[in-house]
Structure 1
Amino acid sequence: MSPRLRVALLPRPTPIRPGSASRRGVGVLSLVGVIALAGCGVFAPESEPATTPTMSIDVTPTPTPTPEEPALDPDGTAQDNLAYFTLIVEEVWAGEDRASGRAYVDALVAAGFDKDAMQVTEDMSTVGNPAESIQFSVEWGQECLVGQVGPATGDPFTVVVDVLPGGGCLVGDTRVIDW
């Protein structure tokens, strides 16, 4: 292959003639470039810096609503009254009479629970020692609010359970509430 042939294989450059489309294309590209640079502020006159709008935020704290204190709901279920039952039990547990079953019964009666629907276990064991735990209950329809306290249980424990098949809420011997 001769060098002359090689040159003949290369494409010939198209000359740019005045008014030709190629020249107009270069002009359009140049104009677009100038507009783009102007948009970037390269050709813009110096001016004051733009102010940034500010927002005003009210940081006044909104008071957190306090939950309502539990209360006796005579028309409610045992579950509806569990929080109130628990509150009364915890109040007695925090006092000096925490090892007295009578203290729990008296506090629950004062809070509106029906004494005739209550049961309580003995405070003392059969050999005269303080009971390891005391249980007490309030029968509420077909359910029972049951509480248990004592050194063996730690913090007071309260729960809703079904009434026993033979009636009542506590299994085993309970003391007569005759005061």
Structure 2
Amino acid sequence: MLRRPDSSASRAAIATGAAAALILLLTSCGPTASPTPAPTDAGGSPSPTESPAAPAYVADGTADDNLPLFAAVTAQVWGSDQNVSGRAYIDALIAAGFDRDAMQVTQDVSTVGNPAESIQFSVRWGDAECLVGQVGPSTGAPVTAVMPQLAEGRCLVGATRAIDW
């Protein structure tokens, strides 16, 4: 004769089995890799996050050394309400330490009086290189680069305006 199991004992066994199955199911769906600990210094405390140093003018450096500052100044002016004024870029570059006598800038107004589609400006660096920037509606974001000087020691092709202010 079969005996019916005690109902309280069978409920406990079912609940225990269900709990074990649920735990197994939840742990099998979780991540398999352990979390990566934060980097620590020799003392065991988390390393502080280092923010990059602001670019600086390097008078005895190369054009490449000064490109980060040239690009930062260009981006700063581009983000201002003077972003279509060639003079604003030249003034900001002079304020950052670049040599005005080594600069060129194109017109920021077309021959018929419309705003220029792009403005180019440059700083001659040494005897062989130039820092060159281009901004305007046709370029979208500012573009800066180190380029070789032209044969006559200029950086920009075509007519440029005097920087006599």
TM-score (norm 2): 0.72
1:178 counterpart residue number = 164
How far residue 61 of structure 1 moved from its aligned partner, in angstroms, is: 2.9
2:129 counterpart residue number = 143
2:147 counterpart residue number = 161
**Which of 75, 87, 93 is equivalent to 2:60?**
75
Structure with max Cα Rg: 1
1:118 and 2:103 aligned: yes
CA–CA distance in structure 2, aligned partners of residues 90 and 161 of structure 1: 19
CA–CA distance in structure 1, aligned partners of residues 70 and 89 of structure 2: 10
The code of the aligned residue for 2:67 comes to L
The code of the aligned residue for 1:151 comes to P
What's the CA shift string for 1:89-140, capped at 9, x where partnerless? Answer: 0000000100000000000000000000000000101111100000000000
1:100 counterpart residue number = 85
Task: Give RMSD over aligned pairs.
Answer: 1.5
TM-score (norm 1): 0.66
Q: Which runs of 5+ in 2 are unaligned?
A: 1-37
CA–CA distance in structure 2, aligned partners of residues 60 and 155 of structure 1: 41
2:72 counterpart residue number = 87
The code of the aligned residue for 1:71 comes to A
* Deviating 4+ runs (over 4 angstroms): 57-60
Q: Which runs of 5+ in 1 are unaligned?
A: 1-56
CA–CA distance in structure 2, aligned partners of residues 91 and 125 of structure 1: 24
